[in-house]
Structures are given as C-alpha cells and as structure tokens.
Chains A and B, each alone.
Chain A
C-alpha cells in the first residue's frame, strides 16, 4: 500500500476533461487506486466518482494505491494533479 497526500495545483481544479484524463491514466494500472478528499474516498478508476468530489485548486487530497504497480500509479497520478501548467 502506497499513500501520498498532496495539494492540487491544477489551475482550475480537476474539471471534466482533466478528470477524464486522470481516470484514463488510473485505468492503465492494475492496482486498486483511491482518491480521498475530506471524508470522502472514491475509486480513482471511476469517472463519476472522481468528478463528484469537485476537486478545486489548493485542496489537499490523498492518493492511495494497493497492488504490484502501486508506486508507479501514485507517481503518475500525482503528476497530473500537481501539473501547474495544465487546466
């Protein structure tokens, strides 16, 4: 189990298109991946789940993954959330 807490740096948060990109990336890994914001934790491979969190810039989220590619998954997905240039 790999876990990382990070701050969202995407300019306008995780909007629909970025959420789709995030979920598409998450689906490349076989680990179970979760994204947590406040008290809510959703499956990172579910687009509706991710979007329901309405993740804004500056918010703190926790990424966690469990599986044989968990570290790669967390690294790759963190990069999307922390990409200041996108969105």
Chain B
C-alpha cells in the first residue's frame, strides 16, 4: 500500500490502542499495537526504498499478495517481491536495515512474541509486565516516526 495509507492506518490503530488497557484488554492491546507498528514499519521501509509501494495487500500466507481490481472490487492472488511485510522479518528482505528501522523491528518483535502466550494461549501476564510492552511500543513508534519525519501526538 501507499506510505500515506499506512500512516493513516497507524493513526487509527494508535487511537484505538489509546482506548484499551494493556492489562485488562491485553489480547486486543497486543494485536492492535502490533498492527499499528507494522503499518509504520511498512511506511518506513517504503520510504527507505527497501520495499515497494505496490497496490497489493499481504495475505496470511507469507509472500502471497492480493492485488485489487478497484473498478470491480475483486482480488487476484500474486507472488511478487515486497511489497508490504506481514511482520518484522516476514518476508525477510535480505538486506541490512538502517539502524532506526532495525531497532524498531526488535521492539516490534517483542510485541509480536506476546501473541502465542497471551492471545492464542492461556498464560496470564505477570504483574507489571505490560510496562515493558508499552516501552516497546513507544520505542517502535518513536524510531519509525523519526525515520518518516512525522509527529505522533501523545
């Protein structure tokens, strides 16, 4: 998708995140934080010309994209170079990342790794654990918004 579309989605997801509490709403908080960060990551990767602003949507299958026919509202599957990434390192880009994007990706991976125990699984977060999640989110957003030269209101 286009850089502007990713940023628009980030703002909507970030606003939704602000209505959730990382402890009481941990499942949806984790998922929303992840999606917000992935959109900023895609915007930053496009801006750095490490990936392309293709008019296609990443599917649930790594490396498989859905290409829209906007006149008819239909989708066609396609395999092409990224494109949007689905998660940090998925698909792998095979090229070193600038430091800010690499640091953001590490922070994003921390959030992504919360999915199995706390969203799909039945583990209960330890008391105070969410402070680390919020720090990771802020780190990811700060590094990527610097890269994109956009301001994020807090």
A and B associate: no
| Residues in chain B within 8 A of chain A (CB atoms) | none
Binding site for B on A (CB under 8 A): none
